Amino acid sequence: MVKFIHCADIHLGKNQNNLDQRFEDFGNAFRYVVEEALQREVDFFLIAGDLFDKRNINARTLKQAVEILEPLRRAEIPVIAVEGNHDKAFLRDKESWISYLAHRSYIILLKPDFKGGKLIVEPYDRDNCSGCYLDLTKDIRIYGMGYLGRAAGSKLAELAPSLPDDKQNILLLHSMVGRMGGDLIGSIPKSDVACLKERVSYLALGHGHNCYVVDKLASQKVDTTTAEDASLPKGQLSLFDLLAVSTEEMEESSEFVITETEDYRNFWGHNPGSIEHCRLDEADHKQGFFYVEMIEGQLQKVEHISGRQRSAKIIVVDVTGVDTPEVVYQKIASDVREQVGELKELLLRLIVKGDIEFDVLEIDEERIRTEVTEICEPIILELELRANLPHFSISTQNEILDRETIEREVLLKKVNDRSTFRSLGSDLVNLILELKEDLLTGVSSGEVLSKVMQMAGEISEDS
């Protein structure tokens, strides 16, 4: 039997609101995962991308990473990692900081190589710290594909024929899998991983900050929660994606499931979620890491562990019908006390909504902040006054637009403003964003030109 930890989206170095406490929170969350690995005496330790929050980390972040990884190195527990989109080096730098850790023997970095646009699958070379796969034992082979953007589907199709059928293959992939994430950079439809099912024993995923699993058999139906209860990874879906998702669609898409109660052994692909809240809208997410026991490619135990996170809450206060600001303050204070309880120094996102009988500008935001701070002393308080705003769906109300979403919506507006390109819509936006990602990650000019010609042809055929 082999035992291992699978984690992803560590985001060391994240310094939310320039608070030292948050920098330490991300370090403490990762330290807890390492402590669990040591206590459970695992055989190896997987990181499925985004060890760091930024490509250009500072000395403090590197020092923190080294200190946390050192006990694993002393215990001779191999740490096998891939680069996520946050880890990859800038084109001018050539090598990432996670590559630096590999050359100092803190991790084994698995990374595919490409020549002439074709995937090169080579064994890991310990001297050069390069290679796509590692034979950990005579029976267990670990592959690392990392973050490939929307090219992941085609590259996985190239990889599949080279996977041996006489080994227990584990694959690390930094990509969201499933229809609900399929229109975003770094996300692929579940059909793109279907080619791996027969030869991969465990698909170790990263990139999505909410825990989800990929069904082992296409015909197997599993229970799903409603779109409201599922706590979808809203920060990673566009407004249009969220509005389009219905409960019926989730049930049809049985391979993309967010679950609290299912036996994880019944699933093939596993995404643990981030180990700490990267945004306040993740307060309701299921996050943590997996502890796995496997015998001859069969999962014997897959346990999702929540980890050590700072407490976080999203509180929605409905002030519908309230006729004075004073009653609003009282309602907010009451709801916060009831839902926060004894928690202190938490992350708090407070949303005030509803139709009130007076001008919303009469509400004193500073007073709300002061009174809420006296109740629970949040280290970060995000306050959103939505009273007397037009009504939106629950998914839209709870979304914080991240940079990628804003960028996408701005580009879409620019495209739609030009009648010549209007019919191309999101297809053209996808092409622009993919080209940007390719240029940032060092894809050759020949590959970029080839992709432009190919996608331009596809767009032309569909138009």
Owner of token pair 């490409």: 114
pLDDT of residue 235: 36
**Residue 340: its H or E element:** helix 325-340
What is the rounded CA–CA span in Å between residue 236 and residue 279?
A: 11
17 Ramachandran zone, left/alpha/beta (phi>0; psi -120 to 50)? left
- Within 143-217, residue ranges assigned H as helices are 152-159
What is the rounded CA–CA span in Å between residue 124 and residue 112?
A: 10
SS3 421: coil
What is the rounded CA–CA span in Å between residue 110 and residue 114?
A: 13
pLDDT of residue 146: 92
pLDDT of residue 182: 42
Q: For residues 269 and 203, is the Cβ–Cβ distance under 8 A?
A: yes
pLDDT of residue 186: 66
What is the rounded CA–CA span in Å between residue 357 and residue 342?
A: 33
What is the rounded CA–CA span in Å between residue 49 and residue 173?
A: 8
pLDDT of residue 57: 92
- In sign, the C-alpha dihedral spanning 373, 375, 379, 380 is negative
**Residue 354: its H or E element:** strand 347-354
Positions in the chain short of pLDDT 50: 179-183, 217-259, 261, 392-400
Contacts of 382 by beta carbon, 8 Å cutoff, 6+ apart: 280, 348, 349, 350
- Packing angle, helices 425-440 and 445-462, rounded to 10: 170
Q: For residues 212 and 180, is the Cβ–Cβ distance under 8 A?
A: no
User: For the sheet containing 347-354, what is the strand order?
Assistant: 312-318, 347-354, 380-387
Q: What is the DSSP letter of 320?
A: T
Rounded percentage of the chain residues whose pLDDT exceeds 90: 56
Q: What are phi and psi of 140, to 5 degrees?
A: -110, 125
Burial letters 65-92, b for 16+ CB under 10 A, else e: beebbeebeeeebbbbbbbbbbbbbeee
What is the rounded CA–CA span in Å between residue 266 and residue 223?
A: 12
DSSP state letters, 83-94: --TTTSPPTTT-
pLDDT of residue 96: 87
Q: What are phi and psi of 331, to 5 degrees?
A: -65, -45
pLDDT of residue 239: 30
Q: For residues 185 and 437, is the Cβ–Cβ distance under 8 A?
A: yes
Residue 95 has a CB neighbour count (10 Å cut-off) of 11
The total number of residues shown for the chain amounts to 463
**pTM for this structure?**
0.77
